[in-house]
Amino acid sequence: MEASELLRTADGASLAYLGDCVFELWVRRRLLLSGLTGTGALNEAARRFVTAKNQCAAFHRIEGLLTEEEQAYFRRGRNSPHLSVPRSASGAEYRTASGFETLCAALYLDGKEERLDELLSAAFAEEKAE
């Protein structure tokens, strides 16, 4: 299956699954480029980025920058009926985080990695990598 077909046919929860990985890879790369070393320190720093609460907050920081197409990808993940909410986040936070992850997957699958980096950099502009 081609990436474009996967983007067109996959449900929001499946795209969020991929987007979780895409986002974590972006975070890990950012942490390494910041000069942070040691797996313990790297894992601790990564946890500040990859929680549902932080992804929800990040989405709200970039919400006004999204195109209509990007907003549609976000809604596709947010509105997915296949989500089970963890104890660490409210239902609204988790649904928003799932939409955020779906957006990450969609941009990745659509070959728009520069746009993905632009949005994620804006979402975490105030966050220190260390």
CA distance 22 to 121: 14
61: amino acid identity, one letter: R
Structure token digits, residue 24: 């974590």
CA distance 35 to 62: 26
Does the annotation mark 117 as catalytic? no
**CA-based max dimension of the chain:** 40
Q: Which residues are catalytic?
A: 20
